[in-house]
Structure 1
Amino acid sequence: MSDETETEYEVGQDNISANIGPFGLDIHNPVFLISGLAIFVFVMGTLMVPELATDTFKAMRNWVTVNFDWFFILSGNIFVLFCFLLILTPLGKIRLGGVDATPDYGYAGWFAMLFAAGMGIGLMFFGVSEPISHFGSSIAENAGSPESWAPLAGAPGDPQAAAKLGMAATIYHWGLHPWAMYAIVGLALAFFSYNKGLPLSLRSAFYPLVGEAVWGWFGHFIDVVAVLATLFGLATSLGFGASQANAGLNFLFGVSDSDGTKIILIVSITAVALVSVMRGLDGGVKRASEINMVLAFLLLMFVLFVGPTSDLLMGFFSGLGAYITNLPALSNPFGRTDANFSQGWTSFYWAWWISWSPFVGMFIARVSRGRTVREFIICVLLIPSLVCVLWMTVFGGTALNQIINDGYTGAQEAATELRLFAMLAELPLTQITSGIGIILVVVFFVTSSDSGSLVIDTITAGGKTDGPMPQRVFWCAFEGLVAIALLLGGGLAALQAMAVTTGFPFAAVLLLMCVSIWKGLSAESKGLK
């Protein structure tokens, strides 16, 4: 980095220190004000005209997914291929933070934090629901043909073939592609911050492409889009979490399943997240993530060994095999006739993961100093993907086994947010395991909210990792407000619509980020020779 760049950054740091505004908020650049005002207007508008908001959200989602499903699918493929390229080239030897840098966290703590932040509530919400949804679609009449839900090989009406197809499609949505998106953003932020001395902000990743323009309105625009994408992506997850926690409480204790209960849950859990936010990364987020990992592991092991253990263990490998075999068909962006799968599932998922990528990527970057590029990509891309496959195999596979071998269709017939608890109802210790499931949803809720608040705070503070406490509290509270507004303005459909809409422009940002990463790493590699 040139002396001019370093001087520019030093001036920026001086401005950061000198611009603590009213109520202790850091308003040194327009990002905070623009983001905050945009979200405030959105919340007020949604609450004032919820019916219009509902129609608008649905129209936005339909327009994006119908017209640009090919763009999402193609972009996801590019992200995965780019990550493997970095693993295989000599650029993978570059160490984040310089040749003498050492990791700040051990593997156990590192995995716990990136996994809890990266998937969280989604695993609880879709772990049972998605495999049996695809199973139901693929076993329907004409399943397995090019005109059906997915152009995969399978016999119509064959339950075993349908189960394999359902797991292949589920692994596609929870494996390499989402983690590649997180890895790209995390690598860009870590490299340009730790190796080049730039602020830990999304704009820094574009310095090789636009130079000093990253400090102007181009950079402001990138950071504002990142804040909005992150906030709406988090709100989507918080809405899913509130819906599932409410369903679990209704299942166990008869608590009313209503918008009022969900709002109370969002407010209560946001208050817990506020406490974690105020304790900081090590005292709050790391501790909550480790608790989460222990509880998730215990529930996973219980279902694995109490359920059809041998079938699940074999299903892990057969599911991976089906995924690899059918990956070309699943990831084909052109000439698709399976609109429900490509638009209703894949486009939503890719947009949701992309909207989460600034949040998860920055969070991963903050805890990944000292890793080599190769180590970073392998650990962020492959290991969490395998854990997701195991999770979906155990929970989804158990539900599928109940349908195919036991004739129990309770999980298949239940509402989406209730399917986990309906599956657990057929296993021993239902009250205990369902209670643990609710606790996991809540703790995932907390880890997503508090780590997301820390990340948004960093972006709006120009890359500072120690922004003022009132600002962290502000963003944490706003996440809860946005989730409430979206629930009241259209429910889960509205949550999904905003994730898709904000994820769409950020997909283009990620594609540009790949180019910038390559240029930056190539220049670094030449300097080390």
Structure 2
Amino acid sequence: MGFKSKKYSIDSTDYQVGQDNISKWGMDVHNTVFVASLGLSILFIVTLLALPPADAKAAIDSIKGAALSNFDFLFMWGANILLFFAIVLAFSPLGKIRLGGEHTTPDYSITSWIAMLFAAGMGIGLIFWGVAEPTAFFTNWFGTPLNVEPYTEAGRELALGATIFHWGLHAWAIYGMTALSLAYFVYNKGLPLSMRSVFYPLLGDRVWGKAGDVIDVLTVLVTLFGLATSLGLGGAQAASGISHVFGMENTLYLQQSIIVLIMGLAIVSVMRGMDGGVKFLSNLNMIIAFVFLGLIAVLNFTTVLDSLVTAVTGYVKNILPLSQTSGRDDTTWLHGWTVFYWAWWVAYAPLFGMFVARISKGRTVREFILCVLLIPTLVTTAWMSIFGGVAIQQVIDKVGQLGLDQGIADVSLSLFYMLDAYPFGNFLSIIAVVLIIVFFVTTLDSGSIVVDGMTAGGKLDVPVKQKVVWAVISGSIAMLMLWIGGTESIQTLQSITIIAALPFTIILLFGSVSLIRGLLTEVDKPQVSANQIK
């Protein structure tokens, strides 16, 4: 049984996974995508080496600023539309369709599945911004949401609510629709795990040619640079924490040593395979994270309860005004925070989408969407409310370093400043550093699997050494960028990733249309397995 409509039919193509692949040195890669991705990455690094870091950052930042300012409507409404698509699909008859066919069973338990998608999605971001973001909004650090008055009760409610807005339903809709599109075309239509596959209903056999190569190369670059950016910023934050707790000097050597440690652990995880590597680390992540969250909640029980209610209230009351670009007086805040976040989630969507697609076989569309939207949103709401609420209360009560500074003095140390207010703050800080490192090992491991799969023509099973190669390349880019110009160079890389998210937003929107066209072919016909569809 084929994937047919009036205009396209997967049965009509002779495409085979790996037909354009080359095998050399025990590796199996898609010739065009691998060479183009590697070549453009090297060209990018060489170009940056030739420019002074400050000049490169200024030039790229100006382009990023123009993209965020002039196309804010595209990022904002792109996220709104993807959330709308997700909700409609979940509650429509198409929600009954199972990824892989009617009789397919999930490869992972619901607990392990959620742990892996959460760790790959934004687990590390919660550590970095859990304290910093709500505190920044409350204290007018680079503007306040909707121009609310800082240091007020209304400012506290909107600070917590806007933080949940950035990490809640919209973010996970961007991730979820990307992952669902990939999973459906891989498991129900027998196509390779590659972004080009999503566009078969729109482009037909042209996806196996230059058009598909362009889509895949752009996906690889966005994913690779996003991964290297996260690794560089995470290494810098972990180094700040270690320096703060143990009194060590926060040097380039320390930051790069941490990245080498993360690379080494990621390589071990990659070699252990999906179950022994990513699954194990993701479960470990969640255990440590919930213990950490529980300790903070118990120590601040009254504040935490009030913060949870305040955050949910602020989110529900302000989700509509925060979702618009017109009529806003807080344009500096809007472009610097919300639009930036939407672009970042889009840039990270291929990494998350391809990894989660690999682990989601056997889930129904409805189960997939509801779990991806609701469970991580609930967890992030709890995390941001607890850590953000406690931090804001320290500012209000003038407790600890946050209270002394009346806000943020150093973003990378904001979490550790909050923890210092407790008698056993060093112990909590050590837990935070361990959590940062384990989260990054999981991210680098899953990211290496994704990039490797894309450069191998969408194959699910590839030689382990290829995954190791991409883990090393990602870490090396982060180390090189730190060496070139410290965090300035890492921020330049982040800006490039944001710029690349502009065309990728359009790609994701067309991908969702393509997904719906594909799902409609399932209507009025029995469910079958992917093997039967080929």
TM-score, with length taken from structure 1: 0.93
Tell me the residue number matched to 1:294. Answer: 287
User: Could you tell me how far apart the structure 1 residues matched to 2:518 and 2:10 are?
Assistant: 14
Tell me the residue number matched to 1:59. Answer: 62
Please state whether the residue corresponding to 2:28 is helix, strand or coil.
Answer: coil
Matches within 5 A, 1:67-466: 67-137=70-140, 149-151=144-146, 156=149, 159-307=152-300, 309-410=301-402, 412-466=407-461
Residue identity opposite 1:83 in structure 2: A
Tell me the residue number matched to 2:10. Answer: 5
CA contact (8 A) 2:18 2:456 kept: no
Displacement of 1:336 in angstroms is 2.7
Matches within 5 A, 1:501-520: 501-520=499-518
CA contact (8 A) 1:102 1:369 kept: yes
User: Could you tell me how far apart the structure 2 residues matched to 1:214 and 1:461 are?
Assistant: 15
User: Could you tell me how far apart the structure 2 residues matched to 1:2 and 1:102 are?
Assistant: 22
Displacement of 1:457 in angstroms is 0.6
Offset from partner CA, 1:383-418 (integer Å, 9 cap, x none)? 101100100011111101111135445272430000
Residue identity opposite 1:122 in structure 2: G
User: Could you tell me how far apart the structure 1 residues matched to 2:492 and 2:480 are?
Assistant: 9
User: Could you tell me how far apart the structure 2 residues matched to 1:492 and 1:159 are?
Assistant: 35
Offset from partner CA, 1:52-110 (integer Å, 9 cap, x none)? 42233222322211222221111111111111111121111111111111111111111
User: Could you tell me how far apart the structure 1 residues matched to 2:472 and 2:280 are?
Assistant: 21
User: Could you tell me how far apart the structure 2 residues matched to 1:429 and 1:407 are?
Assistant: 15
Q: How many residues align?
A: 515
User: Could you tell me how far apart the structure 2 residues matched to 1:74 and 1:394 are?
Assistant: 30
CA contact (8 A) 1:71 1:333 kept: no
Q: List alignment gaps of at least 5 residues for structure 1.
A: 141-147
Please state whether the residue corresponding to 1:87 is helix, strand or coil.
Answer: helix
Displacement of 1:28 in angstroms is 3.2
Which stretch shifts more, 492-501 or 115-124? 492-501
Relative distance call for 1:56 and 1:474 in structure 2 (3 A) is: farther
Relative distance call for 1:399 and 1:491 in structure 2 (3 A) is: farther
Q: How high is the sequence identity, in percent, across the aligned residues?
A: 43
Matches within 5 A, 1:451-490: 451-487=446-482, 488-489=484-485, 490=488
Instruction: Calculate the aligned-residue CA RMSD, in Å.
Output: 2.0
Relative distance call for 1:491 and 1:420 in structure 2 (3 A) is: farther
Residue identity opposite 1:49 in structure 2: L
User: Could you tell me how far apart the structure 1 residues matched to 2:409 and 2:295 are?
Assistant: 22
Relative distance call for 1:338 and 1:282 in structure 2 (3 A) is: same
Q: 2:523 aligns with which of 497, 522, 525?
A: 525
CA contact (8 A) 1:116 1:444 kept: yes
Which stretch shifts more, 37-46 or 224-233? 37-46
User: Could you tell me how far apart the structure 1 residues matched to 2:14 and 2:432 are?
Assistant: 46
Displacement of 1:48 in angstroms is 3.6
Relative distance call for 1:492 and 1:435 in structure 2 (3 A) is: same
User: Could you tell me how far apart the structure 1 residues matched to 2:98 and 2:255 are?
Assistant: 45
Displacement of 1:349 in angstroms is 1.1
CA contact (8 A) 2:17 2:459 kept: no
Displacement of 1:11 in angstroms is 3.6
User: Could you tell me how far apart the structure 1 residues matched to 2:471 and 2:130 are?
Assistant: 27
Relative distance call for 1:525 and 1:26 in structure 2 (3 A) is: same
User: Could you tell me how far apart the structure 2 residues matched to 1:405 and 1:518 are?
Assistant: 52
User: Could you tell me how far apart the structure 2 residues matched to 1:266 and 1:407 are?
Assistant: 33
Displacement of 1:444 in angstroms is 0.8
User: Could you tell me how far apart the structure 1 residues matched to 2:290 and 2:519 are?
Assistant: 37
Offset from partner CA, 1:163-220 (integer Å, 9 cap, x none)? 1110011011100111101111110111111011111111111111111111111111
CA contact (8 A) 1:46 1:485 kept: no
Residue identity opposite 1:420 in structure 2: L
Tell me the residue number matched to 2:531. Answer: none
Residue identity opposite 2:10 in structure 1: T
TM-score, with length taken from structure 2: 0.92
Offset from partner CA, 1:499-525 (integer Å, 9 cap, x none)? 311222111110101100110111112
Relative distance call for 1:42 and 1:215 in structure 2 (3 A) is: same
User: Could you tell me how far apart the structure 2 residues matched to 1:15 and 1:157 are?
Assistant: 58
